[in-house]
Amino acid sequence: MSRIGKKPVDLPSGVSASVSGQTIEVKGPKGTRSFKATDDVTLKVEDNVINIEPRGKSKRARQQWGMSRTQVQNCVTGVTTGFKKELEIQGVGYRAQMQGNTLKLNLGLSHDVDYTAPEGVTVTAPKQTEIVVEGIDEQLVGQVAANIRAWRKPEPYKGKGIRYKGEFIFRKEGKKK
């Protein structure tokens, strides 16, 4: 039995959900998200609670049960509070700044890196060494943060690069004379 799948998803006030077939649409103060579940699970909305149940006892149905419940919970969380990833830039001369909708990164390359965020995600640079990625889709927010981080991953000798806030970088000693 799925321990995650058993838990019902509570709908906070101001959030509504509707099911049509295998698609659930969640509307809230930050926007609208939808999730299409596989045919292995059943979605039910009753009294501000969403229940997900498996169809049958197959291994695939049990796998999809917990995953579908987590995806629905992420839809509800996204339209109520949203998701946020914070990045830090470390290194001499490394900085970020916003110019309109474009993030300009100076990362010690021979050229500046211009990054335009996709629709549904907002990228801000409150300081020259901080980047904040926000949105209602957790997967998209994480992918945008990973794309920005990929331009200059933190290196283990001096720790220079773009890292997630609070990320620990294992430091190496370097060669000796």
Domain ranges of the chain: 3-80, 83-164
Topology annotation, domain 83-164: Outer Surface Protein A; domain 3 (3.90.930)
Residue that has been written with the tokens 């001499």 in this structure: 92
| Strand bridging mode 102-106 / 113-116 | antiparallel
Token pair in block for residue 83: 């998701």
Q: Which amino acid is at 140?
A: L
Q: With contact defined as beta carbons under 8 Å apart, do 71 and 35 qualify?
A: yes
Task: Check residue 45 and give its pLDDT.
Answer: 92
Task: Check residue 2 and give its pLDDT.
Answer: 62
Task: Check residue 25 and give its pLDDT.
Answer: 94
Q: With contact defined as beta carbons under 8 Å apart, do 45 and 31 qualify?
A: no
Token pair in block for residue 15: 């959030």
Residues of the chain scoring pLDDT < 70: 1-2
DSSP 53-90: EESSS-HHHHHHHHHHHHHHHHHHHHHHT-EEEEEEEE
Task: Check residue 124 and give its pLDDT.
Answer: 95
Report phi then psi at 170, rounded to 5: -70, 120
Residue 20 is classified by DSSP as E
Report phi then psi at 155, rounded to 5: -100, 150
Task: Check residue 1 and give its pLDDT.
Answer: 57
Say whether domain 3-80 belongs to CATH 1.20.59.20: no
Task: Check residue 18 and give its pLDDT.
Answer: 92
Q: With contact defined as beta carbons under 8 Å apart, do 81 and 136 qualify?
A: no
Residue 32 is classified by DSSP as E
